[in-house]
Structure 1
């Protein structure tokens, strides 16, 4: 089972690394930047002693790898899911339960479930032909970016996309022609907006419970007792009775058309 999840993540990592590395590769192939060896061997001071020095190519590669987690989150459904989970925990009145690690793990695996068709399409059209040496690395990156671009376009509001197109001062005939770097911030903005809309709906039933409990306590003259202490068990009970976790995850998956 672990190998299956790893195989689904491989196309995404290849695509994200290719997006970062593609400009440098194109410049090298066109002769604009001379090739840099992975490492150099220099004779040392003593007889038969050699010194190895890491060059800028390795440094650039390791720097690019640090951007992969951020790009993975910004190009998938991860942002919407983790924001909704954080708002849900706040609405319940729980400060540290479930913990951040549990929420991140749930968001990650739900993201893999939602993004599975995109991963499989990128693997089919880009990774497998590249492994079979049917296309070059740049062609594989271009092919693999298309499924992600279509997914992001389907989830991006036209108003958000128009905003960033206007800020970039560029003209496009159709949304499919929008640059990937213009589409990404528009997609993230739309995801945050949708996440807050879902969070607003989640807050309403728990807010009603807080108001009812506060009103009852004031009517009984128990003003020194915090309403949160009394309402928390009722909110947890309501969430369990309606099978809240399954309802939330099903709603998030359905919001992407699954």
Structure 2
């Protein structure tokens, strides 16, 4: 019955819509200035709030990439992954715990940079002292300084050679060159720290394997025997605090 009523009423609804559409099209309805660009001082342009919100929402999709390319997150999470592999623990601590720990340790290390970016970029923009584009440029300067301090000169020279560009000073280097050079340096440093972490646990594995072979227990996996000793060693030396302090100290904190 309902279907029959809809079938009978649909032609009338279509007729009413056809009669109303021309009237709505000719009506003088006020427009919404959603996408506007206003000229500013010194030849700059200021975008409307709608465009700024659209740009902000688009930029949020790149937030994970920016977290890895512009902060200490990459070095920390790589060191944690190598440490878990050295201990012989496949899923403990879980990935969620390591990611959360790396995230908040990154915030702790990046706190001076974030505070400086807020002071020179965000606060002047909220007080309407600078435009949105100027605020982005000002807020990027503390991150640029941090990345330059942690980037090796040979890595920076490598990507400058690949891009076939030259800069007079490191401060003039483009973000598109600085970012991959920074990540390359972070990976190199992370693997150096991971190598140092691996040595004591590797020695324990070798000792346990040698003892088991001398006793003729070749069918018993050395990993099963060495795992408690590695965990005990890591706990006795207060491993987590030592690693946290080492990672923070590697950034000069």
Question: TM-score over 0.5 for the alignment?
Answer: yes
2:206 corresponds to 1:215:
no
Question: Which blocks of at least 5 consecutive residues in structure 2 are unaligned?
Answer: 1-34
2:243 corresponds to 1:248:
yes
Structure 2 partner of 1:187: 182
Q: 1:148 to 1:60 in 2, by over 3 A?
A: closer
2:191 corresponds to 1:171:
no
Between Structure 1 and Structure 2, how many residues are aligned? Answer: 214
Superposed, which structure 2 residues align to 1:51-200 within 5 Å? 62-200=57-195
Question: Which blocks of at least 5 consecutive residues in structure 1 are unaligned?
Answer: 1-24, 39-55
CA RMSD, Structure 1 to Structure 2 (Å): 2.4
How far residue 181 of structure 1 moved from its aligned partner, in angstroms, is 1.1
How far residue 250 of structure 1 moved from its aligned partner, in angstroms, is 0.2
* Partner Cα distance (1:247, 1:102) in 2: 18
Q: 1:37 to 1:200 in 2, by over 3 A?
A: closer
The structure that has the greater radius of gyration is: 2
User: After superposition, what is the alpha-carbon deviation per residue over 1:13-48, rounded to whole angstroms, capped at 9, x for unaligned?
Assistant: xxxxxxxxxxxx9x99699xxx9996xxxxxxxxxx
Q: 1:215 to 1:133 in 2, by over 3 A?
A: same
SS in 1 for 2:165: coil
User: After superposition, what is the alpha-carbon deviation per residue over 1:101-160, rounded to whole angstroms, capped at 9, x for unaligned?
Assistant: 000000000000000000000011111111000111111111100000000000000000
Runs of 4+ displaced beyond 3 Å: 27-31, 35-38, 56-64
How far residue 254 of structure 1 moved from its aligned partner, in angstroms, is 0.1
* Partner Cα distance (2:173, 2:160) in 1: 8
Superposed, which structure 2 residues align to 1:2-13 within 5 Å? none
How far residue 171 of structure 1 moved from its aligned partner, in angstroms, is 1.2
* Partner Cα distance (1:58, 1:108) in 2: 26
